[in-house]
A = this chain, B = another copy of it.
Amino acid sequence: MTLLLQQNIKKHISLSESETAIFCGLFEQRLIKKKHFLLSEGEVCRFEGFVVKGLLRVYHIDKNGFEQVLYFAIENWWVTDIDSFTNETPSQLYIEALEDCEVLLISKKNKDFAYENLPEIEKLFRVMTQKTHVALQRRMIDNLSKTADQRYQEFSEKYPQLIQRLSNIQIAAYLGITNVFLSKIRKKLALKR
C-alpha cells in the first residue's frame, strides 16, 4: 500500500527502515470514487494527501461562478489545501476525484508527530513545499507572459500523461480558455507537425 510513498520519500531524504515504517504508519488510506470530493469549499482541510492511484483536480469557484483549476494531482503527487490545513481555516477550494482514486492521508497531528520524532521529515516537506511554491509561481507568471498556444504546448510536453487522461473541458479550464479555443490550438499544432 505504501510502496509508492516510500519511493517518493527516498528521492528526497534518507530514512532507516524502521523510521520509514513509522512515517508510513501515520497515513490512512482513503478510496474516493470518480466525481466524489476529498474536500469541499467551507470545510477545514484536515489532511495532506499522497496520490497512490487516480487523478484529482483542485479548483476554486470564482466570483462569476467559473471553476478555476489550481492544479491536477496524479500518482506520486501530493494534494492538499496548504492554507486551510496549516491555519485550520475553512477552505476556498474543492478537491474532486476525476477517476477512482486511492489516496494516503496524513493528519496535522500525525504530521506534527513526524516533525518531532523524525527530524528528516522537516527536509522532506521543506523541499516539497518549495517545489509546489515554484510551480505555483511559474503558473502565475506563465499566465501573464505566455500565449494560450505556448501554455498548451508546454503543458502537453511536460505532462503527457495528464493530457491523455483529462477531458478537453478540464484542459481548457486549466489553461483559462474556452473549449472551442483549445480545439483551434490543437488543430493549428496538428497542421504544423
Contact = CB atoms under 8 A, between A and B. Distances in A.
A117 interface: no
Nearest to A131: B86
Contacts of A186: none
Nearest to A138: B83
A interface, over-half SS: helix
B60 A144 contact: yes
Contacts of A113: none
Contacts of A138: 83
Contact of A133 (B115, B123, B132, B147): B132
Given A62-B145, A141-B60, A146-B63, A133 B129 contact: yes
A92 interface: yes
Interface in A116-147: 119, 122-123, 125-126, 129-130, 132-134, 136-138, 140-141, 144-147
A83 B115 contact: no
23 contacts: A60-B144, A60-B145, A61-B145, A63-B146, A63-B147, A68-B144, A70-B137, A82-B133, A82-B137, A83-B137, A86-B134, A93-B141, A115-B123, A119-B122, A122-B126, A123-B126, A125-B126, A126-B129, A129-B129, A133-B133, A136-B136, A136-B140, A140-B140
Interface of A: 60-63, 68, 70, 82-83, 86-87, 92-93, 115, 119, 122-123, 125-126, 129-130, 132-134, 136-138, 140-141, 144-147
Q: Which 7 A-B pairs have the closest CB atoms?
A: A126-B126, A122-B122, A62-B144, A133-B133, A129-B129, A83-B134, A63-B145
